Amino acid sequence: MEEQLKKQLSLIKHVALDMDGTIYLSNTIFPYTIPFLKKLDDLGITYSFLTNNPSKSLNDYLKKLSGMGIPATPEKMYTTTLAMIAYIRSHYPEARKLFLLGTPSMISQFEEAGFISTTESPDDVPDIVVVAFDMTLEYKRLCRAAWWISQGLPYLATNPDKVCPTDMRTVLVDCGSICKCLESATGRCPDITLGKPDPNMLSGICEQKGLEPSQIAMVGDRIYTDIEMALRAGAFGVLVLSGETTMEIVNEAPRKPSLVCADIEEFGNLLEESRRA
C-alpha cells in the first residue's frame, strides 16, 4: 500500500455506508457485509447507513436490515426522508400540509413527524409539494403534483437519483427521472433537491461525532451521488464496484474518488492493513 493512502486510511474513525449496491443489492445481502461490519467493530471504527432511497420509513429500513442480520439502531440511520423533514422544519416552519408524491411507507414517516398528507382533490391545497422515489406511483397523483407545481407552490425533491439499483430484470425509475417528467409538464425544476450529493448528511455526522471530514469515509457505488457528496464535504470517498458504477464510468468521470475498491470487503482489508505497524 502506498504510504499516502495508508496515512489517509489510518485517520478514518467513521464509515458512512450507502446501502443498495454497497451492503446489499435490492433484497439480497452481499456475503461479505456482516464480516465487514464486524471488522469495523474490531478496529474500533464506527459506522452508519446513508440512503437516498426514501421509499421506506426509518422503521421499515431497520426491519429490512434486521431481517438481513445487519445490526442497526435509529441513531445509525440517515435517510433523505429524515433530511427532508429537517429541511422543511428549518426553512418552512409554518408548513403543515404536504402533497407527498411517495410511497405509503414514506408518507407515514412524515405523518409521524406531525405533517398532514393532502389528497388528490384540487380543493385540498398543500403548503409544499414533495416529490420522491415513488414505487407506488399513480397517474392521477402525478398529475396533481404537476398541477400544484404549475401553480407556483414550493417544490422539493428528496433525491436526484435517476434509477434505483436492483437485481431484478427491470429498471426502477427513481426520483430524478420523475422530476424530469414533471419538468417537461410544468417547466419547473425542484426548488431544492436533497440527499446525496448534498453534503448535509455527512456534515451532520461530523457534528454528531465531533470528527473532521478527513476522519470519515463515505462508501458507495455511485460517483454522481456518493462520491460527489464525499468530495463536497471534504471526506474520503470510496467507490465500490458492486453496484451501478463500472471502471469505464470512473475513467470518464471529471472528479475521481479517493479510492476505488471491488467491494466493501476489499475496503475493509485495506483499513485493517493501514493499522498495522
Cell numbers for 112, please give them: 409521524
Query: Is the pLDDT confidence value at 219 over 90?
Result: yes
Reported as a single tens digit per residue, the pLDDT across 236-274 is: 999 999 998 999 999 999 999 999 999 999 999 999 999
Cβ-Cβ contacts under 8 Å for 151 (sequence gap 6 or more): none
Pairing of strands 128-131, 28-29: unpaired
Task: Pick the more confident residue, 120 or 205.
Answer: 120
Under the banding of pLDDT at 50, 70 and 90, the label for residue 235 is very high
Cβ atoms < 10 Å from Cβ of 276: 8
If you write DSSP's letter for every residue of 173-196 in order, what string do you get?
A: E-HHHHHHHHHHHHS---SEE-ST
The length of the chain is 277
Pairing of strands 172-173, 163-164: antiparallel
User: Mean pLDDT throughout 175-200?
Assistant: 94
The pLDDT assigned to 277 comes to 67
Reported as a single tens digit per residue, the pLDDT across 1-40 is: 799 999 999 999 999 999 989 999 988 999 999 999 999 9
Cell numbers for 84, please give them: 427532508
Euclidean distance between CA atoms 89 and 91, whole angstroms: 6
> Closest Cα partner for 267 from 239, 246, 231?
239
Cβ-Cβ contacts under 8 Å for 4 (sequence gap 6 or more): none
Place of cell 445481502: 29
Under the banding of pLDDT at 50, 70 and 90, the label for residue 99 is very high
Query: Is the pLDDT confidence value at 165 over 80?
Result: no
Task: Pick the more confident residue, 166 or 157.
Answer: 157
CATH code for the domain defined by 90-193:
3.40.50.1000
> Closest Cα partner for 40 from 19, 15, 10, 65?
15
Mean pLDDT rounded to a whole number for the chain: 94
